[in-house]
């Protein structure tokens, strides 16, 4: 289901995320960063087809379509995760009430998420993949889902791409 | 150091190992280089750290993070010329070996004692 581009990008991403502490901080940091972006993008709205849309929903839909294009299974799961994340971000933006409060919440979450990312890379001893290849920022959330599926015993193909699992010769 | 990376299911790798490698090993260039081989049973094992000797795992990660690694993946056979723990040149395929890597190795080792 995964295309070659995704496998190569995943292999590249995995090569700088081998330390379990780095993985652990990413499992918190990446969702927090994604949520912070959805929260901020909830501030802007536009009308399309007699309906008001938030930029966060539009960006989330485009992102999920991109993830599906890279890997159908992972992409669908990403969609299932992004839907409640978008809904929660939109609700939080509404509850915060003002753009300044939303910006403050965004800043705290975004900076906090990146602090966790860099803490993980401190343990890893390698700089974040994003600094060398901006596309890796798009792969990061997929890596978390892929890693989870591999740990659960699914997607042997992704385990191979990430260099995980046993090395038993078949 | 020259590092050969291949897998046992690849026909091109079999060609390298049966035709080109013996010529290389018999050459004076071979005596001037540390030659290392990564040759697992199947291609999927190439990206696993356990396949690589501990002192060369940095090379695996460096390659996977490189532009060539992201764009091409492990096209085998692949050759790395490593100097001072840095990849100074890399190419793939038997044509890449014959037309680029082999002349490069001859240049690099030409001034070295045997």
DSSP single-letter state for residue B32: T
Q: Are strands B78-83 and B86-92 parallel, antiparallel or unpaired?
A: antiparallel
CB B108 within 8 A of CB B81: yes
Closest A-chain CA to B60: A15
**CB nearest B64 (choices: A12, A165, A169):** A12
The residues, ordered by sequence, that sit 6+ positions from A85 with a Cβ below 8 Å of its Cβ are A31, A34, A35, A38, A60
Mind listing the pLDDT tens digit for each residue in A107-120?
999 999 999 999 99
Reading chain B (114 residues) residue by residue, the pLDDT tens digits are: 999 999 999 999 999 999 999 999 999 999 999 999 999 999 888 988 889 999 999 999 999 988 888 888 889 999 999 999 899 999 999 999 999 999 999 999 987 765
Q: What is the ipTM of this complex?
A: 0.70
State which H helix or E strand residue A47 sits in.
Answer: strand A45-47
Look at residue B65 in the predicted model and tell me its pLDDT.
Answer: 87
Please tell me which of the candidates A12, A163, A165 has its beta carbon nearest to residue B70.
A12
Q: Distance from B29 to chain A by nearest Cα, in Å?
A: 32
Residues A11, B40: C-beta atoms closer than 8 Å: no
Helix axes A136-151 and A55-70, enclosed angle (nearest 10): 60
Q: Is A169 in contact with B42 (Cβ distance < 8 A)? A: yes
Task: Tell me: pLDDT of A2 over 70.
Answer: no
CATH architecture of structural domain B2-109:
3-Layer(aba) Sandwich (3.40)
- Mean pLDDT along residues A122-131: 87
Domain boundaries of chain B, sorted by first residue: 2-109
Closest in A4, A129, A169 to B65, CB measured: A129
Judged by CB atoms closer than 8 Å, whether chains meet at A170 and B49 is answered as no
Single pTM value for the model = 0.81
């Amino acid at each position: 289901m995964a295309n070659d581009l995704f496998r190569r990008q995943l292999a590249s991403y995995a090569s700088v995320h081998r330390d379990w502490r780095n993985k652990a901080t990413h499992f918190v940091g990446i969702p927090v960063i994604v949520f912070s972006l959805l929260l901020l993008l909830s501030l802007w709205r536009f009308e399309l087809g007699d309906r008001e849309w938030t930029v966060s929903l539009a960006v989330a839909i485009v992102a999920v379509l991109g993830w599906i294009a890279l890997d159908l299974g992972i992409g669908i799961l990403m969609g299932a995760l992004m839907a409640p994340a978008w809904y929660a971000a939109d609700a939080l933006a509404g509850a915060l009430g003002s753009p300044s409060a939303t910006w403050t919440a965004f800043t705290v979450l975004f900076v906090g998420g990146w602090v966790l990312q860099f803490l993980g890379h401190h343990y890893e001893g390698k700089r974040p993949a994003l600094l060398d290849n901006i596309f890796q920022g798009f792969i990061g959330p997929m890596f978390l889902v892929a890693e989870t599926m591999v740990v659960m015993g699914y997607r042997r193909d992704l385990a191979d791409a990430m260099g995980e699992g046993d090395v038993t010769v078949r | 150091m020259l590092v050969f990376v291949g897998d046992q299911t690849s026909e091109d790798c079999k060609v390298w190992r049966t035709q080109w490698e013996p010529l290389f090993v018999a050459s004076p260039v071979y005596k001037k280089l540390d030659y290392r081989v990564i040759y697992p049973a199947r291609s999927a094992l190439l990206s696993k750290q356990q396949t690589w000797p501990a002192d060369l795992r940095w090379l695996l990660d460096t390659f996977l993070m490189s532009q060539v690694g992201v764009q091409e993946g492990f096209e085998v056979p692949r050759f790395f010329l490593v100097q001072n723990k840095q990849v100074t040149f890399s190419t793939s395929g038997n044509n890449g070996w014959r037309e680029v890597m082999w002349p490069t190795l001859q240049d690099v080792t030409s001034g070295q004692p045997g």
